[in-house]
């Protein structure tokens, strides 16, 4: 029996925020000092590195659990299953529900429980819990769901990745331009005819790397509130990712028994265009090759970095023919890969 993705869904928020919307921000460095360069230069350099031209924000009335629910509804419909037959709901996020205008995260009850409530699932055997694993959370949720199914504990699992990062960013931090909101979901099931997880790998690097992403106060030293925001050491993360992710991807592919020539697409966490390109180049270099054209679909240019939502959203868009120039067909071998807070890395080799 194969264990694979039976259906996918996503929710793309309707509010589009372009780079020009940041032109009047008062950007400060970590010491609270204004930059020498004007904002238009800062923004131009930002786009050249990250590839981000615009990003999506959730409407004020929607929270992380809400957009996760909307993606879940689509995935259930796409899979054509009865929601009462779900055995697990795994919701990957990092900040819980942060209501618009609030600085407090709400995780009681869990976001997975809220989704189950909104889905009106009566089956008490459907277990709902949250996954906090940084940006790789959705992929890790898939790996856990696969283990449940493989052990006989489950037949169908709903795995969601959603975040509203626009509500946890420091407006004085230029890194605030990276983050966005979004939700993606899938149904993982056992089937003779469906796709198949061929191999997977997970690693946590916490010997000096644990706080490359962290929660910290505003760079505005005049802000005396206790509000904390998402912060990161961007250069350290870049160096970590390009050093460790390619090797993890290679180990995962080698364990799958598939050849590098069999890989049709790489769905990598949409964190930074230049970083992702460097990771994929180094991955192929390990096999003495260069990446084929079109191997790495990207939507970061218009979607920004929505953390756990980037990979499931991207996969759904390609699977449904919504990303021009990209498609996946039955039997195609693809790789999912992510890196993020922890520092965590994971990868899956998957046959569609």
Question: Residue-wise pLDDT tens for the chain (352 aa)?
Answer: 899 999 999 999 999 999 999 999 999 998 899 998 999 999 999 999 999 999 999 999 999 999 999 999 999 999 999 999 999 999 999 999 999 988 789 999 999 999 999 999 999 999 999 999 999 999 999 999 999 999 999 999 999 999 999 999 999 999 999 999 999 999 999 988 889 999 999 999 999 999 999 999 999 988 878 889 999 999 999 999 999 999 999 999 999 999 999 999 999 999 999 999 999 999 999 999 999 999 999 999 999 999 999 999 999 999 999 999 999 999 999 999 999 999 999 999 999 9
Distance CA 268, CA 86 (A): 27
Q: Which two tokens stand for residue 330?
A: 């039955």
pLDDT for the residue numbered 104: 84
Q: Is 147 exposed, middle or buried (0-12, 13-18, 19+ CB in 10 A)?
A: middle
User: pTM of the predicted model, to two decimals?
Assistant: 0.95
- Residue 178 contacts residue 135 (beta carbons within 8 Å): no
Q: Which whole-number Å values give the CA distances from 279 to 169, 179, 269, in the listed order?
A: 26, 20, 11
Instruction: Name the one residue in this structure whose structure tokens are 């020498």.
Output: 36
pLDDT for the residue numbered 334: 98
pLDDT for the residue numbered 102: 84
Question: Domains of the chain, with CATH numbers?
Answer: 2-193 (3.40.47.10), 198-351 (3.40.47.10)
pLDDT for the residue numbered 87: 98
130-145 per-residue burial string, b: 16 or more CB within 10 A, e: under 16:
bbbbbbbbbbbbbbbb
Find all residues with CB under 8 Å of 298, minimum gap 6, and list them.
51, 270, 273, 276, 314
């Amino acid at each position: 029996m194969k264990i694979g993705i039976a259906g996918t869904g996503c929710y793309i928020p309707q509010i589009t925020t372009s780079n020009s919307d940041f032109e009047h921000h008062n950007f400060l460095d970590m010491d609270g000092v204004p930059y020498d360069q004007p904002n238009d230069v800062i923004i131009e350099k930002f786009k050249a590195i990250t590839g981000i031209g615009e990003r999506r924000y959730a409407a004020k009335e929607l929270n992380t659990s809400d957009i996760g629910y909307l993606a879940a509804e689509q995935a259930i419909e796409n899979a054509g299953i009865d929601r009462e037959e779900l055995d697990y709901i795994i919701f990957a996020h990092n900040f819980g529900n942060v209501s618009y205008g609030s600085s407090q995260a709400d995780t009681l009850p869990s976001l997975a429980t809220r989704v189950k409530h909104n889905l009106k699932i009566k089956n008490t055997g459907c277990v709902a819990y949250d996954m906090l694993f940084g940006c790789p959370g959705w992929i890790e949720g898939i790996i856990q769901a696969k283990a449940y199914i493989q052990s006989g504990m489950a037949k169908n699992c709903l795995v969601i990745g959603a975040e509203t990062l626009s509500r946890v960013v420091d407006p004085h931090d230029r890194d605030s331009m990276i983050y966005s909101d979004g939700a993606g979901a899938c149904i993982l099931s056992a089937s003779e005819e469906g796709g198949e997880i061929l191999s997977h790998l997970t690693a946590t690097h916490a010997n000096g790397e644990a706080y490359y992403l962290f929660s910290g106060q505003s760079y505005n030293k005049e802000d005396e509130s206790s509000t904390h925001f998402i912060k990161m050491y961007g250069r350290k993360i870049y160096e970590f990712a390009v050093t460790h992710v390619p090797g993890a991807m290679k180990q995962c592919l080698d364990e799958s028994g598939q050849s590098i020539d069999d890989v049709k697409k790489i769905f990598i966490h949409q964190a930074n265009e230049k970083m992702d390109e460097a990771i994929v180049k180094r991955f192929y270099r390990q096999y003495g090759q260069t990446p084929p054209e079109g191997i790495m679909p990207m939507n970061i240019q218009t979607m920004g970095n929505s953390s756990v939502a980037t990979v499931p959203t991207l996969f759904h868009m390609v699977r449904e023919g919504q990303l021009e120039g990209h498609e996946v067909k039955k039997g195609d071998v693809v790789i999912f890969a992510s890196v993020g807070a922890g520092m965590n890395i994971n990868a899956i080799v998957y046959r569609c």
